[in-house]
Structures are given as structure tokens and as C-alpha cells.
Amino acid sequence: MFEKYISIKESKILCGQTSAGVWYCKELPAETTAELNVLIGEVNGILNKYNTQAVKEQKKLDTKVKGLK
């Protein structure tokens, strides 16, 4: 499986993209649980913006392929 990677602030957040085009967070270090809670919310907001489009495109492809429901 081929994956693309992107680093944000190199040592802070590491995100990846699957071959299907779905972005996910691989590493999200935090000093405290409060900091982690804020970071997860921010990262999810960013990734969801891109993943929503990837899911819509995948659904279009699924309906065009015979045998899939």
C-alpha cells in the first residue's frame, strides 16, 4: 500500500494519507491531557475537511461499479 506523509511542525504532528486518499493522524504528542484534547479537536477539524471530499468521491465511484450496492 502506498502512503503519502506530511509533517506539521516536524516533531509535533505527523499525518499520513492512505492509497484511498483518506488522511489520518499518525502521531500527536502532548504534554498534558488538556493539551491533547485541544490538539485532537483541531487536527480532526482539519482532516475531516479533506476526508469529507474523499468520502464523497469514493461513494461516486462505488455507485458506478457493477455489483456494489
Which position has the higher pLDDT, 68 or 49? 49
Which residue ranges make up each domain of the chain?
4-64
pLDDT, position 2: 65
Q: How much is the pTM?
A: 0.59
Q: What is the pLDDT of residue 4?
A: 75
Strand order in the sheet with 4-8: 4-8, 13-17, 23-27
Q: pLDDT tens digits, residue range 8-66? A: 554 578 899 988 788 999 999 888 899 889 999 999 999 998 888 777 777 776 666 66
The pLDDT of residue 60 is: 72
**Cβ atoms within 10 Å of 58's Cβ, excluding its own:** 13
